[in-house]
Chains A and B, each alone.
Chain A
Amino acid sequence: MSSEQAVPTEESGDAEGTPDPVSTGAASVVRALENAGVEYLFGVQGGAIMPVYDALYDSEMRHITMAHEQGAVHAADAYGIVSGDPGICMATSGPGATNLVTGIADADMDSDPVLALTGQVPTDFVGSDAFQETDTTGVTRPITKENYFASDADTVGDVVGEAFAMAKRGRQGPTLVDLPKDVTNAETDREPGPARTPDTYRPAETADEATVTAAAEAFAAAERPVILAGGGVIKAEASAAVREFAIDHEVPVVTTMPGIGAFPEDHDLSLKWAGMHGTGYANMALTMSDCILAVGTRFDDRLTGGVETFAPDAEILHVDIDPAEISKNVEADYGLVGDARAVVGQFADAVVGSPDTDAWCEQCAEWKREYPLDYHIDEDAPVKPQFVVEAVDAATGDDTVVTTGVGQHQMWACQYWTYTEPRTWVSSHGLGAMGYGVPAAIGARYAADDDQSVVCFDGDGSFLMTCQELTVAAREELDITVFVLNNEFIGMVRQWQDGFFEGRRMASEYDWMPEFDTLAEAFGAKGFRIDTYDDVEDTIEAALAYEGPSVVDVHIDPEEDVFPMVPSGGDNGLFALRGDHL
Chain B
Amino acid sequence: MSSQDDPPENGLLGADPDDRPRPRGRRNSQGIRIDPEVEAERSPRRTTITALVQNEPGVLSKVSGLFSRRQYNIESLTVGTTQETEWSRITVVVEEPDPNIDQIEKQLDKLVPVIHTRELDENAVARELVLVKLDAEDPAKVHAITEMYDGRTLDAGPRTVTVELTGSERKIDDALDALRQFGVREIARTGQTALARGETKTSTVPDDLKP
Query: Interface residues, chain A, CB within 8 Å of chain B?
Result: 137-138, 141-142, 146, 149, 166, 198-201, 280, 284, 287-288, 299, 304, 307-313, 322-324, 326-331, 333, 370-377, 387, 390-391, 559-561, 563-564, 573-579, 581
How many residue pairs bridge A and B at CB < 8 Å? 143
Chain B residue numbers with a CB within 8 Å of A142 are 65, 69
Rounded to whole angstroms, the CA-CA distance of A559 and B9 in the bound complex is 10
CB pairs A–B below 8 angstroms (26 shown) = A141-B58, A142-B69, A166-B112, A199-B208, A200-B54, A200-B112, A312-B26, A312-B27, A324-B103, A324-B107, A327-B31, A328-B103, A330-B31, A331-B27, A372-B12, A374-B7, A376-B10, A377-B1, A560-B10, A563-B10, A573-B17, A573-B23, A576-B17, A577-B11, A577-B13, A577-B14
Does B73 lie at the interface of the complex (its beta carbon under 8 Å from any beta carbon of A)? Answer: no
The yes or no answer to B61 lying at the interface (CB within 8 A) is yes
Q: With both chains docked as a complex, state the minimum distance between the C-beta of A366 and any C-beta of chain B, in angstroms.
A: 11
Q: Are A200 and B209 in contact (CB under 8 A)?
A: yes
Contact with A along B1-40 (1 / 0, CB 8 A): 1111001111111111100111111111111110000000
Q: Quick one: which of B25, B28, B112, B208 contacts A313, CB cutoff 8 A?
A: B25
Which residues of the other chain, A, contact B22 by a CB distance below 8 angstroms?
A: 573
For the A-B complex with A308-B26, A327-B103 known, give 7 more contacts whose Cβ atoms are closer than 8 Å: A141-B62, A200-B54, A280-B14, A330-B27, A331-B32, A373-B12, A573-B22
B72-116 with Cβ < 8 A to chain A: 99, 102-103, 106-107, 109-110, 112-115
> A309, A313, A578: which contacts B10 (Cβ < 8 A)?
A578
Q: Which residue of A lies closest to B14 (CB)?
A: A371
How many angstroms from the CA of A574 to the CA of B23 in the assembled complex?
11
Asked if A307 and B110 make an inter-chain contact with CB atoms under 8 angstroms apart, the answer reads: no
Of all A-B residue pairs in the complex, the 4 with the closest CB atoms, nearest first, are A578-B11, A312-B25, A324-B106, A330-B31
Alpha-carbon distance A559/B57, docked complex (angstroms): 54
Tell me whether A324 and B112 are in contact (CB under 8 A). no
Q: How far is the CB of B35 from chain A (nearest CB, A)?
A: 11
List the B side residues contacting A564 at CB < 8 Å: 12
Contact between A376 and B3 (Cβ–Cβ < 8 Å)? yes
CB-nearest residue of chain B to A198: B112
Distance between A227 CB and nearest chain B CB, rounded to angstroms: 18
Closest to B205 in A: A200
Q: Are A372 and B112 in contact (CB under 8 A)?
A: no
**Given contacts A141-B62, A376-B3, is CB(A370)–CB(B114) below 8 Å?**
no
Task: Tell me the smallest distance from the CB of A339 to a CB of chain B, in Å.
Answer: 16
Given known A287-B23, A576-B17, contact A329–B31 (CB-CB < 8 A): yes
| B46-61 with Cβ < 8 A to chain A | 54, 57-58, 61
Q: Is the CB of B20 within 8 A of A574?
A: yes
Chain A residue nearest to B68 (CB atoms) is A142
A579 touches B11 (CB 8 A): yes
Query: Which among B29, B112, B115 has the highest number of chain A CB atoms within 10 Å?
Result: B112
Closest Cβ neighbor of B16 among chain A residues: A581
Contact A577 B12 (CB under 8 A): yes
Check A563–B113 contact: CB distance below 8 A.
Answer: no
- Given the known interface contacts A142-B69, A199-B209, A561-B10, the answer about A574 and B17 at a Cβ–Cβ threshold of 8 Å is yes
A491 to B103, CA, bound (A): 37
User: Which residue from A307, A375, A574 sits with its C-beta under 8 Å from B3?
Assistant: A375
In the complex, the answer to whether A563 meets B27 with C-beta atoms within 8 Å is no
- B contact residues around A308 at 8 Å (CB): 26-29
- The residues of A that contact B4 with a CB separation of less than 8 Å are 372, 374, 376
- A313-B24, A374-B2, A561-B10 given as contacts; is B113 within 8 A of A331 (CB)? no
Task: Report the bound CA distance from A495 to B141 in whole Å.
Answer: 72
Instruction: Give the contacting residue for A327; candidates B13, B99, B112; CB below 8 A.
Output: B99
Are A374 and B58 neighbours in the complex by a CB distance under 8 Å? no
Q: Is the CB of B27 within 8 A of A323?
A: no
CA distance A577 to B19 in the complex (A): 13
Q: Which residues of B are found within 8 Å of A377, using beta-carbon distances? A: 1, 3
- Check if B12 sits within 8 Å of A324, measured CB to CB: no
State how many angstroms separate the Cβ of B18 from the closest Cβ of chain A.
8
| A327 lies within 8 A of B102 (CB) | yes
Q: Do A307 and B58 touch across chains, with their CB atoms under 8 A apart?
A: no
CB nearest to B3 among chain A residues? A377
Given contacts A141-B58, A323-B106, contact A575 B17 (CB under 8 A): yes
**With A577-B13, A578-B8, A578-B10 in contact, is A312–B23 under 8 Å at CB?**
yes
Q: What is the bound-complex CA distance between A560 and B115, given in angstroms?
A: 53
Residue in chain A with minimal CB distance to B102: A327
Known: A307-B27, A373-B12. A284 touches B20 (CB 8 A): yes
CB distance from A381 to the nearest CB of B (A): 10
With known contacts A324-B103, A573-B20, A310–B9 Cβ distance under 8 A: no
A151 and B130 CA atoms in complex are apart in Å by 38
Cα distance A313–B33 in the bound complex, in angstroms:
8
Q: Contacting B31 at CB < 8 Å: which of A200, A307, A579? A: A307
Minimum distance in angstroms from A314 CB to a CB of chain B:
8
Please indicate the chain B residues that have their CB under 8 angstroms from the CB of A322 in the complex.
110
Nearest chain A CB to B17 CB, angstrom units:
4
The CA-CA distance from A322 to B62 in the complex, in Å, is 18
**Complex contacts, A331 vs chain B, CB 8 Å:** 27, 30-33, 99
**Which chain B residues in 110-157 approach chain A with CB under 8 Å?**
110, 112-115
Contacting pair A137 B209 (CB below 8 A): no
Q: Which residues of B contact A370 (CB under 8 A)?
A: 14-15
Contacts of B114 in A (CB 8 A): 200
Inter-chain CA distance A576–B8, complex, in Å, is 13
Tell me the bound Cα distance from A201 to B208 in angstroms. Answer: 13
Q: For B29, list chain A residues within 8 Å (CB).
A: 307-308
Which residues of chain B are within 8 angstroms of A560 by Cβ–Cβ distance?
10
Q: How far is the CB of B63 from chain A (nearest CB, A)?
A: 11
